Amino acid sequence: MNIFETASRNKLRFQSTFGSLSVEQLWDLPLTSRGSSDDLDSLAKAANRDLKELEEESFVVKSSFVVKSSVAKSELELPLEILKHIISSKLQDIEDAKSRRDKADQRETLLRILKDKEVSEMEGMSKDDILKQLAEIS
């Protein structure tokens, strides 16, 4: 089962200053915002903080963390994974839009240069060639 199906089956909600948000509503949030905690970055940080609070460091076993509850951990991992997926998707959308803009700008520049070259070639034509082409057009 994918994370979005699991979220919808469990009626997963995310707490914000607006109240409870559904997974669908997360797509409307900005990646970051100034002053408001209702952005994807803040929600992901909070979800990550909640997940880390479940771990306790062991002082007997070196470099070991004990998870307080595996059920609670799995319940907190899902919201974080959903937020990370949405953030990644939105970042990819931004990158794709920038790439499309860059390609459109490059195309526009190339078309302008092509037109300039065509004008330059026409300016180099002899009077007879110009008259001949004008006659063909008429």
Predicted confidence (pLDDT) per residue in 72-85, tens digit: 777 889 999 999 99
- Residue 36 reports pLDDT greater than 80: no
For residue 128 the two structure tokens come to: 């007879």
Q: Which residue ranges make up each domain of the chain? A: 3-105
State whether residue 44 is helix, strand or coil. helix
Alpha-carbon distance of 34 to 44, in angstroms, equals 16
Contacts of 55 (CB under 8 A, 6+ apart): 65, 66, 67, 68
Beta strands in 41-101, from DSSP E residues, in sequence order: 55-57, 65-67
Per-residue pLDDT tens digits for 49-71: 988 888 776 666 666 555 556 66
Alpha carbons 130 and 41: distance in angstroms, whole number: 64
Q: Give me the chain's average pLDDT, please.
A: 89
Non-local CB neighbours of 138 within 8 Å, separated by 6+ positions: none
